[in-house]
Amino acid sequence: MTLLVDATPLVKEPHPLPVAPRPWVLPSLFAAFNVVLLVFFSGLFFAFPCRWLAQNGEWAFPVITGSLFVLTFFSLISLNFSDPGILHQGSAEQGPLTVHVVWVNHRAFRLQWCPKCCFHRPPRTYHCPWCNICVEDFDHHCKWVNNCIGHRNFRCFMLLVLSLCLYSGAMLVTCLIFLVRTTRLPFSADKAIAIVVAVSAAGFLVPLSLLLLIQAVSVSSADRTYKGKCRHLQGYNPFDQGCASNWYLTICAPLGPKYMAEAVQLQRVVGPDWTSMPNLHPPMSPSALNPPARPGPQPQPLDPSKPGKGPPGRGEAAVLQEFHTGPVLPLLLQEPPGEVRPSSRPCAPGDARSTST
């Protein structure tokens, strides 16, 4: 019995097309729609029930609700354009094979390499897939404002949630008082608008109150809402300094340096006392490859065998400021003594900025 062999030639399957990056237009439009929604319902509220109360001599309601509206609107706009703690792109000089270990309250953390931002991420720093950036002390990505919530804008986020809760509650109470005061009056447009605004305010107040409670518990325990937090904490949170200290570090403590500045370079130490020095050696001499040390105390390399005792909490890149008074990230990415760093080009600016930890 002869075997029939299919004579159809093998065709190599085409490679799938690269996945296009997420468009930024729709998230930006959704964030703008939320601002318009706030202004729209506020306009209905101040034009109908609040106006009737003011005309009848009860000025406390428009004054209180007006102040809360200004605070809420300012917090919303500020959070939309705030810096969550974006870390500058590094370079591929060190590569992912270099191991960096830091200590936080007697617990070792191995810094994870971000292949898109080309540097070793500090503890609790994650790469946001929606924004394509690495955010220090990443909490979550808020789609309502189309921005990440991290170390530098968490206070503004808490202020926004608190002001929204207070403003929604004030609108609900004002509309209910208006409906009670106009019970004997015939049904009018003011009553219809007051019912619509009261139902909308109650619908927003319930989830916002739940969100505020969750965030308050998270701050009290120095925890994060990001789902990747449970992978490396394993029942013990080295960033927990107690309820009072956690709230102080979150709300009142200094934010530290802003790494988004153009002058920040993660691969070398840059201090305010740095001055340019002319190169007196030939370009190819060994002395030209090793520039002279800048004056002042030199930073010591991080010793993994000695645990740090810096203040944990929000902005965990600051836990190593005990070893160096300048920016912390350059020290974290410092090469071990005696190691020669190969020359390579930095990451291209067009590279995407992994949620993997």
Residue 336, CA distances (Å) to 131, 292, 347 in order:
32, 18, 22
Residue 284 and residue 350 in contact, taking contact as beta carbons nearer than 8 Å: no
Q: For the stretch 312-347, what's the b/e string if a residue is b when 16 or more beta carbons lie within 10 angstroms of its beta carbon?
A: bbbbbbbbbbebbebbbbbbbbbeeeeeeeeeeeeb
**Closest to 138 in 3D by CA, of 355, 335, 289:** 355
Whether 252 sits among the annotated catalytic residues: the reply is no
Residue 152 and residue 255 in contact, taking contact as beta carbons nearer than 8 Å: yes
- Provide CB contacts within 8 A for 258, sequence distance 6+: 83, 152
Six-digit token pair at 147?
């921005």
What's the sign of the alpha-carbon dihedral 134, 223, 155, 43?
A: positive
- Residues 142, 148, 156, 347: which is the catalytic one? 142
What pairs with residue 142 in β-bridges? Answer: 147
> In a 3-state reduction of DSSP, which class is residue 102?
strand
Q: For the stretch 156-167, what's the b/e string if a residue is b when 16 or more beta carbons lie within 10 angstroms of its beta carbon?
A: bbbbbbbbbbbb
Q: How far apart are CA 41 and CA 56, in angstroms?
A: 22
Q: How far apart are CA 311 and CA 320, in angstroms?
A: 9
| Percent helix, percent strand, percent coil in the chain, to nearest 5 | 40, 10, 55
Six-digit token pair at 169?
């509650």
Q: How far apart are CA 343 and CA 94, in angstroms?
A: 9
Q: How far apart are CA 351 and CA 357, in angstroms?
A: 19
Active site members:
142
